[in-house]
Copies of this chain bind each other. A is one copy, B any other.
Amino acid sequence: MPDGAHLKPELPLVLSRYKDALDLALKDVISDRSIFLYDMLRYCMGWADANGAAFETEKGKGIRPSLCLFTCDALGGDIEEALPAAVSIELIHNFSLIHDEIQDSDEIRHHRPTLWNIWGIPKALVAGNVMRVLADKSMSTVLPDDSKLLSASSSIVSEACLEMIEGQYMDISFEGGNSISVDQYMEMISHKTGALLRSSVHIGAVIGSRGGRVADIFREIGIKLGFMFQIRDDILGTWGETTSTGKPVGSDIRRKKNTLPIIHARETQTYQEEITELYSLESIEDHHVDRVLDILDATKASHYCQGLVENYALDVSKDIENIGISKNSKEEFKELVSFLVDRNF
């Protein structure tokens, strides 16, 4: 198990401070209409059960919208101005989750059945699409008096959304492939996960700095945070504990996912053939999972992956030092970075 995967760190301030404001704003956007379709969205967000009755359950970390608001905040902006953008990004994230779950036939998310699993693919597909339109609607209300910044912000989200979808396409295309290189993989995750995460930091900075050039630096930071986030996700999908991740140990292996640990191990000549064989099996049993975990141990895959995460963290910490935000904001930002290095959920 990689360092830190056994700890459950506290949620850093950056991820907890804006939760209530975000929740209110998100509820405001989604509870607008009454047909049952919107209860599906509320279920997806963790506010309703499968019958549409009010219900509170474990939610996502809200890392994207929180980052958007924090960045705006740290640059002295008014978080109320960034709120519609943060909401938009969170809705796009949820849109992508709903469609991803269909694509990957995922039956469970956060310990609850996924939308398609309850309501079937056609309705889940539609629910995802509505989420996406609501995201657009929210985005269109950003900075109504500054059409230039509104247009810039919309473009950032639109471009990120396009890259994210292209990343999903690459990911699907990789499925069953045995020769994906680490470079190809990094390209894919920079699109699939990275683009939206990058856009949340970027757009918060654009709004917070009123279009200042500092936003470009935040954009670069956002790219690095995206890699950290996804690689740590791969670590958790391989070695994480069910109790914290909501998925069984080795769940990504069981699903024959091409994650970074696997791709790294496959680049080691000695095990290439064996992994390819194991990943060609109709179904992966417990002893196969154990064997893959042994190979990952032998190739020091967790050390390699966690090393990458820590390198990005170091890099981001340096970037943070060089931007013009308060000492306090720098500390908070670094606390978030530490969390992303060690998180086990």
- The chain A residues found within 8 Å of chain B, CB to CB, are 33, 35-37, 99, 102-104, 121-123, 125-127, 129-130, 132-134, 136-137, 140, 144, 147, 150-151, 154-155, 158, 161-162, 165-166, 168-170, 172-173
Q: Chain B residues with Cβ under 8 A from A132's Cβ? A: 129, 132
Q: Which residues of B contact A166 (CB under 8 A)?
A: 33, 35, 37, 130
Contact, CB under 8 Å: B155 / A140: yes
Q: What is the count of identical protomers in the complex?
A: 2
Q: Is the CB of A126 within 8 A of B168?
A: yes
Q: Which residues from B are CB-within-8-Å of A126?
A: 99, 103, 165, 168-169, 172
Residue of B nearest to A140 (CB): B154
Q: How far, in angstroms, from A103 to B33 measured CA to CA in the complex?
A: 23
Q: How far is the CB of A38 from chain B (nearest CB, A)?
A: 9
Picked from B104, B130, B151, the residue with its CB within 8 Å of the CB of A140 is B151
Check if A169 sits within 8 Å of B123, measured CB to CB. Answer: yes
Which residues of chain B have C-beta atoms less than 8 A from A154's C-beta? 140
Shortest distance between the CB of A251 and any CB in chain B (Å): 19
Which chain B positions have C-beta within 8 A of A173?
A: 36, 123
State the Cβ distance, A127 to closest chain B Cβ, in Å. Answer: 8
Bound form: Cα–Cα A137–B129 in Å: 17
A130 and B165 contacting across the interface, CB-CB below 8 Å: yes
Instruction: For the complex formed, measure the closest distance between the CB of A326 and the CB atoms of chain B, giving whole angstroms.
Output: 33
**Distance in Å: Cβ of A175 to nearest Cβ of chain B:** 8
Is there contact, CB below 8 Å, between A158 and B137?
yes
CA A153 to CA B12, docked complex, whole Å: 41
Report the separation of the CA atoms of residues A158 and B161 in the bound assembly, to the nearest whole angstrom.
16
- Which B residue sits closest to A148, measured CB to CB? B147
Distance (Å) between the CB of A17 and the closest chain B CB? Answer: 31
